[in-house]
């Protein structure tokens, strides 16, 4: 994993360059935490335009404001990162644990929160976070996030923080009103918190000196697939997709599409107009994609998009937490039909059937897993329409039929 230097005008350059191994080095690099009051902190976060980096892009100040004032809020730092195409939270927690803890402390102050919880994979807790929390004598409860795609979903993180299995649930009241221990709860991604740690020190103007007005500051990106240098990179908000690919060393072979926003995201065909497209919500929306948590996968022109997508949907079907009927039944059905299409063994009109099934799982679960899977399937059918025609003709732009598993997508360790 590597970090790129990015362009803040002066001072510390970005999140990854603000990393330090221990508290003494961290303080030497960044200085002490500024002693700002809750109201100043809230307005700084608001003026900075910071949005959630966990995928939802919700305005951070609004999330904090929802729970502030209750006087009993709980602040949860979410470092669970269940998305296999993203490793930026892991890299950040390894390289800059104290910056994340700074942000947690400041966000808790801004929200008037009495309790802080940090949810992250067990190996990071043991190796990095428990020692960091001990060094600061911080009152932060550490909770291990089990592996799994849906364990990073907001309600699953609340469940884990409450000592229950880390499974999504359908809250009767919104968690900002009734979350951990029945208290108003704000769940913030660890990268979002790290940004707060820098905004409080260097100010709103410094944060906004980088990025674009509708996506200020930097964001961490995980770039994988057919690029020369896979890894985590920090880039200014609104960086054009062509530069995103260049940041990872450029294509390792000719590309046909980018998958943006992880396995719940969308494909964007690779061409000159895509290369100029900024990685922002507004620019990607008309193309059926969103920055999400900043995961970008480059698909080589020599790969079959349908085979790659079939592997993803099979994986997503296996990652259902098994609680909601439409997801338990619908996702395997989606995986089956996409697999038939990918292998050129369609018995019924698989495209029509996939569209119908996507409509049957969309919005019908306790979490966003069925919705995200439906979005990915629809995006696949839209993007690889020509490939569908080829397959129906007994041909394939990759190799068909493929006996061996497709390796064009990054996979979680088995």
Partner 1 sequence: MAAELTIDWTRCEARGVCLDLLPGLLRPDDWGYPMAREPGRIVVTATDLPDADVAVRECPRMALRLARPS
Determine the Cα–Cα distance for residues 358 and 372; give it in Å rounded to an integer. Answer: 10
Nearer to partner 1, 23 or 360 (CB): 360
Is 364 near partner 1 (CB under 8 A)? Answer: yes
Nearer to partner 1, 108 or 335 (CB): 335
DSSP per residue, 312-355: HHHHHHHT--S--HHHHHHHHHHHHHHHHHHHT--SS-HHHHHH
Nearer to partner 1, 364 or 392 (CB): 364
Is 326 near partner 1 (CB under 8 A)? Answer: yes
Contacts of 314 by beta carbon, 8 Å cutoff, 6+ apart = 335, 339
CA angle 367, 368, 371 (to 5 degrees): 135
Is 149 near partner 1 (CB under 8 A)? Answer: no
Hey, how many other C-beta atoms are within 10 angstroms of the C-beta on 316?
24
Q: Which stretch binds partner 1 (CB under 8 A): 185-193, 304-312, 317-325, 397-405?
A: 317-325
For residue 3, which phi and psi values (nearest 5 degrees)?
A: -120, 140
Is 162 near partner 1 (CB under 8 A)? Answer: no
Look-up of token digits 């994609």: 289
Contacts of 206 by beta carbon, 8 Å cutoff, 6+ apart = 8, 9, 10, 11, 198, 199
Nearer to partner 1, 332 or 410 (CB): 332
Partners of 233 in the β-ladder: 221
Q: Which stretch binds partner 1 (CB under 8 A): 6-14, 30-38, 292-300, 329-337?
A: 329-337
Determine the Cα–Cα distance for residues 227 and 114; give it in Å rounded to an integer. Answer: 45
Is 360 near partner 1 (CB under 8 A)? Answer: yes
Is 371 near partner 1 (CB under 8 A)? Answer: no
Is 325 near partner 1 (CB under 8 A)? Answer: yes
Q: Which stretch binds partner 1 (CB under 8 A): 68-76, 86-94, 224-232, 359-367?
A: 359-367
In angstroms and rounded to an integer, the radius of gyration of the C-alpha atoms of the chain is 21
Is 374 near partner 1 (CB under 8 A)? Answer: no
Is 365 near partner 1 (CB under 8 A)? Answer: yes
Nearer to partner 1, 29 or 360 (CB): 360
Nearer to partner 1, 138 or 360 (CB): 360
Q: Which stretch binds partner 1 (CB under 8 A): 14-22, 167-175, 198-206, 225-233?
A: 167-175
CA angle 216, 217, 218 (to 5 degrees): 125
Nearer to partner 1, 53 or 264 (CB): 264
x/- string (CB under 8 A) for partner 1, residues 270-309? Answer: ----------------------------------------
Is 366 near partner 1 (CB under 8 A)? Answer: yes
Is 348 near partner 1 (CB under 8 A)? Answer: no
Determine the Cα–Cα distance for residues 116 and 211; give it in Å rounded to an integer. Answer: 30
Is 378 near partner 1 (CB under 8 A)? Answer: no
Is 169 near partner 1 (CB under 8 A)? Answer: yes
DSSP 286: G
Hey, how many other C-beta atoms are within 10 angstroms of the C-beta on 381?
22
Q: What does the binding site for partner 1 look like in residue numbers (CB under 8 A)?
A: 169-170, 172, 323-327, 329-330, 333, 357, 359-360, 363-366
């Amino acid at each position: 994993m590597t970090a790129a230097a990015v362009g803040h005008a002066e001072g510390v350059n970005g999140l990854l360059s603000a990393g330090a191994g221990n508290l003494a080095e961290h303080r030497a690099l960044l200085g002490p935490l500024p002693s700002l009051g809750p109201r100043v902190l809230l307005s700084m976060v608001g003026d900075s335009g910071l949005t959630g980096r966990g995928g939802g892009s919700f305005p951070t100040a609004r999330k904090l404001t929802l729970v502030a004032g209750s006087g009993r809020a709980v602040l949860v730092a979410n470092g669970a990162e269940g998305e296999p195409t993203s490793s930026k939270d892991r890299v950040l927690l390894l390289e800059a644990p104290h910056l994340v803890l700074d942000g947690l402390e400041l966000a808790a102050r801004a929200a008037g929160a009495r309790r802080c919880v940090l949810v992250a994979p067990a190996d990071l807790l043991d190796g990095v976070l428990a020692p960091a929390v001990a060094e600061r004598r911080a009152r932060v409860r550490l909770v291990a996030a089990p592996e799994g795609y849906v364990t990073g979903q907001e309600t699953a993180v609340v469940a884990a923080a409450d000592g229950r299995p880390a499974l999504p649930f359908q809250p009767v009241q919104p968690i900002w009103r009734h979350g951990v221990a029945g208290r108003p709860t704000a769940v913030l991604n660890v990268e979002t918190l790290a940004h707060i740690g820098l905004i409080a020190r260097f100010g709103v103007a410094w944060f906004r000196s980088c990025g674009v007005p509708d996506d200020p500051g930097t964001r961490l990106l995980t770039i994988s697939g057919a690029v020369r240098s896979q890894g985590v990179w920090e880039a200014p908000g609104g960086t054009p997709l062509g530069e995103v690919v260049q940041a990872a060393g450029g294509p390792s072979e000719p590309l046909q599409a980018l998958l943006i926003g992880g396995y719940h995201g969308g494909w964007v065909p690779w061409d000159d107009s895509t290369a100029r497209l900024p990685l922002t919500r507004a620019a990607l929306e008309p193309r059926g994609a969103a920055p999400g948590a900043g995961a970008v996968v480059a698909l080589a022109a020599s790969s079959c998009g349908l085979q790659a997508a079939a592997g993803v949907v099979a994986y997503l079907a296996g990652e259902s937490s098994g609680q909601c009927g439409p997801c338990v039944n619908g996702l395997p059905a989606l995986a089956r039909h996409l697999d038939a299409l990918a292998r050129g063994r369609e018995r019924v009109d698989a495209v029509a059937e996939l569209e119908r099934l996507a409509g049957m799982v969309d919005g019908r679960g306790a979490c966003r897993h069925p919705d995200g899977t439906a979005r990915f399937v629809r995006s696949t059918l839209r993007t690889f329409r020509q490939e569908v025609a080829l397959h129906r003709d007994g041909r394939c732009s990759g190799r068909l039929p493929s006996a061996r598993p497709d390796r064009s997508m990054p996979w979680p360790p088995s």
